[in-house]
């Protein structure tokens, strides 16, 4: 079958995907200005959304307003490759619209209270 067999509907084009190529979304940049892992958590910053954001930047800020989100989750929601998402998120981190969420403080594995809580939890099983 050829595309002519599908009047008005090209089987090779997915209407659900973004119309812009990734390099257009990032202005041709391929490297983020910050080092971000897929598990890095981001939340909306106090600076709020800068004016003149494009749709992808604005959507990322909106997604991080309620609770922190990971880079991987944002990439999936924005429907962009992870590297492109990292470039977009770096832009937002640079402006203060997003900030890295502080990870929870890890407990000291030698803390006797932690060990007691683990033992109590195991006994409840």
Q: What is the pLDDT of residue 12?
A: 47
Q: What is the pLDDT of residue 42?
A: 94
Per-residue pLDDT averaged across 53-65, rounded? 87
Percent of the chain at pLDDT above 70?
Answer: 72
pLDDT at residue 5 greater than cutoff 80: no
Cβ–Cβ under 8 Å, residues 71 and 64: no
Report the predicted TM-score, pTM, of the whole model to 2 decimal places: 0.64
Per-residue pLDDT averaged across 65-80, rounded? 91
Q: What is the pLDDT of residue 11?
A: 52
φ/ψ of 88, rounded to 5, equals -60, -45
Q: Determine which helix (DSSP H) or strand (DSSP E) holds 88, and give its type and residue range.
A: helix 82-95
Cβ–Cβ under 8 Å, residues 65 and 42: no
Q: What is the pLDDT of residue 92?
A: 92
């Amino acid at each position: 079958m050829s595309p002519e067999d599908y009047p008005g509907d090209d089987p090779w084009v997915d209407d659900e995907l973004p119309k812009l190529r990734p390099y257009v979304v990032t202005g041709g940049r391929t490297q983020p200005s910050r080092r971000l892992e897929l598990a890095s958590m981001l939340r909306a910053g106090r600076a709020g959304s800068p004016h003149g954001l494009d749709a992808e930047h604005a959507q990322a800020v909106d997604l991080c307003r309620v609770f922190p989100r990971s880079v991987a989750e944002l990439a999936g929601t924005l429907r962009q490759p992870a590297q492109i998402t990292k470039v977009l998120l770096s832009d937002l981190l640079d402006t203060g619209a997003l900030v890295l969420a502080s990870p929870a403080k890890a407990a000291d594995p030698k803390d006797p209270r932690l060990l007691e809580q683990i033992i109590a939890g195991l006994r409840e099983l």
